[in-house]
Structure 1
Amino acid sequence: MSTTSDVHLPKIVGVYGGGRMGAGIAHAFLVAGSSAIVVESSEVTAEAARGRIASSVVKAAERGGLTDSPDDVLARLSVVTSPEELARAEVVVEAVPEDVALKATVLATIEASAPEAWVATNTSSLSVDGLAATLLRPGRFVGLHFFNPVPASSLVEVVVGAATEPRLVEIAQGWVEGLGKTAITVRDAPGFASSRLGVAIALEAMRMVEAGVASAEDIDTAMTLGYKHPMGPLRTTDVVGLDVRLAIAEHLASELGPRFEPPAILREKVAAGQLGRKAGQGFFAW
């Protein structure tokens, strides 16, 4: 947990990628009072990102979660297709899919477009040190692992690479506190803290379904009522996406060994397109 008292929000934050996670990150900074520049790859995807963020801000207002009006909050949002716009940002958060080559390309673009900015990656499992190795200024790079859905989650992992400047760690902790969330600080390691533990529980739950030990519903109820988890591991997998969980499990298996080997039921569901909530079917029907 953060111990710094230097709570500080950037005046302008950049977010590269306006999908579900990127839109959520932009939402969090906008609602807290920052301006946000979101970069998308085309006018079509930019318009979709703009609509995604606007919808979430309006919903936050309906729940009484805004101090400003939705119009005032959204007036601080820019969704662009030109990365050069990021030059105005104090920090730029990369929020593209979990693909090493894609992230490396995007991070290089961010460094070139915003040479004075701090840079963060929102990876949930990829090596921060591995990504830093591709950068010109690895000391200005840190992991910020936000959780889905970002507006409702209260935790952010600050992932510290071997080259990350200690000052940046304190600044990043301050950003998280300024968002009204709690920061935990972890050393770069496969799966960090949260993904490693969360995936381990979820994979064991899948093996239990596969072996007929209990239904998905009953396994989740065991964790929500027995261990006070707010959501069971299988429903959480549906929300995260079975394809996302599969990719993380494969990465952890390659780094940490067979205890993270994805069970057949997970591979079969992904192959059948049963990806969870976004597809209408995973371990549960949505």
Structure 2
Amino acid sequence: MADLLIITGARAADRAVIAPKELAKRTKTVHIDVDPAEIGKNMSTTVPVVGDVKVILSQLLAHKPVADTADWLEDLRARRKRERRDEPVHREGAVSPVTLMRSLGGKLDDDACVCVDVGQNQIWAAKHLPLQHGRFLTSGGLGTMGYSLPAALGAKTAAPGRQTVVVCGDGSFQMSMNELATMKNIGADVKIVMIRNGVLGLVNEIQNKLYSGPFGVDLEHSPDFEKIAAAYGIGSSTVADDKELDGALSRMFSEKGPYLLVCRVAPEATTGD
């Protein structure tokens, strides 16, 4: 837990800060934003600063550091190494999202472009997908479900020679799956890795932490995504076992043109797994 949290130009929305009262008990907060309405809207602020972030940060950088952070940075690096060594949570008949991201990372080119959507898939990718010199395209905290497929089309058009991969959930995929038609029509070599957990995962995770059910985020009766891909003339397959991941990913990358890999993940899997 940080002693001081500095928020610059961000909304501190309810999905980003799940328990603001608990955070306020342990952490002092400096919130910098050009819009005063955003400061203190969802969480209390120790030091509110209204103004242009660029100007304010330039003024702060003019001051000398007050502490040596070398030990703190080394501690963070050590924690990161331990996290990467942690054994993923395995569930029967499902793929571990952590194992999926680690396995996917091992198949990526150094300059790969990875386009992630919104929700748990976004967080799992950010935490566990090892990237070298590639690009990680994300809409951040804007909540733009359906972002990844059109983003991948744009990335592939701009850099046709670079490996382009989509990471999305079954909810976000259905927001823009019509883009499969464009992918097929132009022959865009985009590989789609879908996390199918049958729920709007991040909303489900947050609601389970804060409330009791039932929750209206169930996608249990989603369509057969392999049949949808076939209707567009696109190859696909489904994997539901960590032991089959490596082979499934290898087959996906060996295919020419767009391809959909449906990865079954347990609905109870969380971003803390």
TM-score range, shorter chain: 0.3 to 0.5
Computing the radius of gyration over CA atoms, which structure comes out larger, 1 or 2? 2
The structure in which a higher percent of residues are helix is 1
Per the normalisation by structure 2, the TM-score is 0.32
Per the normalisation by structure 1, the TM-score is 0.31
